[in-house]
Amino acid sequence: MNQKFIDFMREFYGKKMAVAVSGGVDSIALLYWLVEIGADIVCLHVNHDLRAAAKVEAEYVRDTCEKLDVPCHVFVWTGEKPSSGLEAAARTARYKMMTDFCHDNGIEYLLTAHQSDDQIETFLMNLARGSGVFGLSAMQPIAERDGIKIVRPLLNVSRDELREYCESRGIKYFNDEMNNDARYTRVRIRQNRHLLHDKLGISDERILLAIENLNRARNAIETDVDKLVADVMGNGFAMFRDSFLFDLSPDIRLKFVGTLIQKIGGDNYQPRLNSLRLAVDKLHGNCKFTLGHCTLRRLGERILIVPEGAKTTFRKRHGKVRKIEK
């Protein structure tokens, strides 16, 4: 078992946790490792009903949990599936079912099996999009979604190590054929990532080190932004002067607006960087527009952000908003 995994999990000893298990090598290895360290877990499996093998995989996860004496709950994604954006829709549905279960059962933590190869692939995908510090810092070890903490204890463990663990012990796992479908950007990156090392000498370790360094910058920015957001947030809205926004450094300015939109609009993710840049550009003059289920309005020196569909009047705004002067 990986020592970095053991050290990471010390913080969670004695806490009730859910673990997402698909039946693939990463999540099956995570399940076994959690049992080995005596973690208090319940297994959650989602059958998306998209492949012929889905029912077989669900039964295997259930049988494995029974053998390991781990409670298991299987969910099925029913109803019509979208003709486009299927992967994103499946991910949203999967997290919704699992986080709802966690809320209903008083579970604060949901563990997922994202590992270091996933982390590198996410970094490269975001690099291709031209992402900033927050996209390039990739996945966080602990994040939040729908009010549940998403914990990723394998981000410093490689896929090869997890596969070797399972194969050396005769532990069965399934291979999702979608992992070899080159129509998906992540798969194309996975199939060609070796060229970075073979042709350019850029190792996985160097990429992971860059992500770690970017995370330090991300954490510093987030600390500053959290303080700024607390200054301007009211009861479901934010109001501040233009000077407060435009006196901020560009990186903090974009993250500040993105964080407000996420909190007020209720989305799990902030708008993409290009959308935030366009929004900030519009806010240089009087305007009114929507982004991330929010309406943003500037009138004179004042800027207001409210949930989409709410009134955008500046009068009679009450809440925790103090006058900000820069």
pTM for the model stands at: 0.81
Q: What is the pLDDT of residue 317?
A: 61
Tell me what the pLDDT averaged over the chain comes to.
90
Tokens 């993250």 label which residue? 255
Q: Report the pLDDT value the prediction gives residue 316, as an integer from 0 to 100.
A: 63
DSSP helix/strand/coil, 109: strand
Q: Tell me: pLDDT of 322 over 50.
A: no
Instruction: List the end-to-end C-alpha distance of the chain, in Å, as a whole number.
Output: 53
pLDDT greater than 60 at residue 222: yes
Residues 181, 86 contacting (CB under 8 angstroms)? no
Q: Specify the DSSP class assigned to residue 272.
A: P
Give pLDDT tens digits for 97-124: 999 999 999 999 999 999 999 999 999 9
**CA angle in degrees (0–180, nearest 5) for 149-76-141:** 20
pLDDT digits (tens, 9 = 90+) for 158-215: 999 999 999 999 999 998 766 777 777 888 998 899 999 999 999 999 999 999 999 9
Does the structure show a pLDDT above 90 at 21? yes
All CATH 1.20.59.20 domain ranges in the chain, comma separated: 223-307
Percent of the chain with pLDDT over 90: 71
The CATH architecture to which 3-192 belongs is 3-Layer(aba) Sandwich (3.40)
pLDDT of residue 234: 86
Contact 28, 175 (CB under 8 A): no
Eight-state DSSP code of residue 180:
G
Q: Which residue has the higher pLDDT, 307 or 316?
A: 307
Q: What single-letter amino acid sits at 272?
A: R
C-beta of residue 84 within 8 angstroms of C-beta of residue 123: no
pLDDT of residue 2: 87
Q: Could you tell me where in the chain the CATH 3.40.50.620 domains are found?
A: 3-192
Asked if 17 contacts 44 with a C-beta cutoff of 8 angstroms, the reply is no
How confident is the model at residue 83, as a pLDDT? 74
Could you tell me the maximum CA-CA distance found in the chain, to the nearest angstrom? 68
Q: What whole-number percentage of the chain has pLDDT above 70?
A: 95
Residue 292 has pLDDT above 60, yes or no: yes
CATH 3.30.300.30 fits 223-307, yes or no: no
- The token pair that represents 325 in the structure block: 């002067």
Tell me the average pLDDT across 252-271. Answer: 92
324, pLDDT greater than 60 = no
Residue 1 is predicted with a pLDDT of: 79
Give residue for tokens 């910058």: 217
Can you give the length of the chain in residues? 326
What pLDDT digit, counting tens, does each position of 254-263 carry? Answer: 999 999 999 9
Residue-wise pLDDT for 32-84, tens only, equals 999 999 999 999 999 987 777 888 999 999 999 999 999 999 999 887 777 77
C-alpha to C-alpha distance for 69 and 12, rounded to whole angstroms: 20
